[in-house]
Structure 1
Amino acid sequence: MASDSVHPVLEELDREECLRLIAPGGIGRIAFEDGEGPTMVPVNYAVDGESVVFRTSLEGRLNRSLLTAVPGGQVRTAFEVDAFEDGTHEGWSVLVRGGARPLEGEERERAVRVDPWPGGEREAWFCLTAREVSGRRLRRT
């Protein structure tokens, strides 16, 4: 039987702590509208200040959905990263909402490095600028 002194606590995380947690980069999920409804796919990412940089294939649904005909335009997206420990039932989750836009030319050359895990070309680079950042942590006390 679990001790009464050990109980789960769910705490809201501030923007600074959320950005610190996702700063190492890795794998997250990007949510977007693909014309058939809300969709979410995993991507490798890196953090640059308060922006998330990720790459995808030129032919993929993610690239087609995030391109805009308006120069400098952004597409509303959400990005989520989490980490959980099954054994302790502890972890955290961070949600970043904002506008994603393609990176081109010199801007792409200056962007933080993102190394995609999948094989093949990942020549479409995007930057999601954080408008909202929120998160929660579940811990035991």
Structure 2
Amino acid sequence: MAANSSSSPDLEELDRAQCMALLGEGGIGRIAFDDGEGPTVVPVNYAVDGDAVVFRTSVSGRLNRSLLTSVVGGEVRAAFEVDRYDEASREGWSVLLRGGVHPLSDEEKTAAAQVEPWPGGEREAWFRLAAREVSGRRVHRP
């Protein structure tokens, strides 16, 4: 089939509102950060909370250790990505958030969107990534 065929999928850039709406259902996304040994990407359960995503992890895990900061009110730079793809139709979307991550205080945990972790075990370290940059793309049939 020719590359310019009318049945070829279109690539559409998504605006911030479209991106946040796609993320709105929550589920599983990937948090990207530097763990001290280089770039690392870890899947997490998340929920959208305003213009941010909230996720939980274990207190003893690498993600918690890497995202904590000794600066009160400080944040760690990170990225968060979610995508969906249908192999049969070859359609899908991808959304990327970039911003600062900080641990939630007990008061913030109470007010934040609730996240149900997928794996068992304690997941008492809560984090919030404030979406400073939001971008997304959708591949769809015309």
TM-score normalised to structure 1 length = 0.97
| Deviations 1:56-106 (CA, angstroms, capped at 9, x unpaired) | 000000000000000010000000000000001100000000000000121
For structure 2, list consecutive stretches of 5 or more residues without a partner in the other structure.
none
CA RMSD of aligned residues (A): 1.1
How many percent of aligned residue pairs carry the same amino acid? Answer: 69
Tell me which amino acid in the other structure corresponds to 1:43: V
1:87 aligns to 2:88 (yes or no): yes
| Deviations 1:9-60 (CA, angstroms, capped at 9, x unpaired) | 1110000000000011000000000000000000000001101000000000
2:48 maps to 47
For structure 1, list consecutive stretches of 5 or more residues without a partner in the other structure.
none
Equivalents in 2 of 1:6, 1:124: separation in Å?
47
Q: How does 1:32-111 map to 2 (within 5 A)?
A: 32-111=33-112
Tell me which amino acid in the other structure corresponds to 1:132: E
TM-score normalised to structure 2 length = 0.96
Equivalents in 1 of 2:96, 2:6: separation in Å?
30
Equivalents in 2 of 1:109, 1:139: separation in Å?
39
Alignment partner of 2:93: what SS? Answer: strand
Aligned length: 140
1:13 aligns to 2:19 (yes or no): no
Tell me which amino acid in the other structure corresponds to 1:17: Q
1:24 maps to 25
